[in-house]
Homo-oligomer: A and B are copies of this chain.
Amino acid sequence: MRLTTKGRYAVTAMLDLALHAGKGPISLADISERQGISLSYLEQLFAKLRRSELVRSVRGPGGGYQLSRDQVNINVAEVIDAVNESVDATGCHGSGDCQSGQTCLTHHLWCDLSEQIHAFLSSISLLDLVQRKDVQQVAKRQDRRYVDQLIMSTGEKAPADRKAAV
């Protein structure tokens, strides 16, 4: 079992998509900027998310990604699973044969744990996350920061005027 940045990035990116839904496709460059994730790495993750049919892509200018299902119908467990980070805690992947073909002493414990984690993560939908106060706060901060950077790069306003400009 493992849960590293790969799975965390995937969930974060999907949540970013959910938060900015209804404004047309979101480009990976935007997500990269807002969430601080390398663009090329995001591309790899989204290739997997697309293969798992969790997102739809639109090519060309103004293109990007959209959730392929309703937010309430996508849960955290399947996002993590899509990028090959299994939520499985057993060493035998459930088959009960990790000790030279036979069941090891702790197999059932790991099965129970896997079930526990899976039940928890699959009970949480993207909509649940979008509606959380703490998520909304962070999202607000990120959007402000993002707009700031856009203005900075266009580059005609002094830092003190930034907030007024928005």
Interface residues of A (CB under 8 A from B): 1-5, 8, 11-12, 15-16, 35-36, 76, 89, 91, 99-100, 102-110, 112-113, 116-117, 120-121, 124, 129, 132, 134-135, 138-139, 141-142
Chain A facing B: main interface SS: helix
Q: Which residues of B are found within 8 Å of A121, using beta-carbon distances?
A: 113
Known: A16-B105, A102-B138, A108-B135. 11 other contacts (CB 8 A): A8-B104, A8-B106, A12-B104, A102-B141, A103-B134, A104-B138, A108-B132, A109-B124, A109-B129, A113-B120, A116-B120
CA–CA, A89 and B4, complex, Å: 8
Q: Which residues of B are found within 8 Å of A138, using beta-carbon distances?
A: 102-105, 107
Q: Which residues of B are found within 8 Å of A5, using beta-carbon distances?
A: 91
CA–CA, A120 and B115, complex, Å: 11
Query: Could you tell me the distance in whole angstroms from the C-beta of A151 to the nearest C-beta in chain B?
Result: 19
CA–CA, A118 and B76, complex, Å: 19
* Pair B106/A11 contact, Cβ less than 8 Å: yes
Interface centre among A129, A135, A138 (most CB of B within 10 A): A138
Copies of this protein, total: 2
Q: Which residues of B are found within 8 Å of A109, using beta-carbon distances?
A: 11, 76, 124, 129
Q: Which residues of B are found within 8 Å of A135, using beta-carbon distances?
A: 105-106, 108
* Pair B35/A105 contact, Cβ less than 8 Å: yes
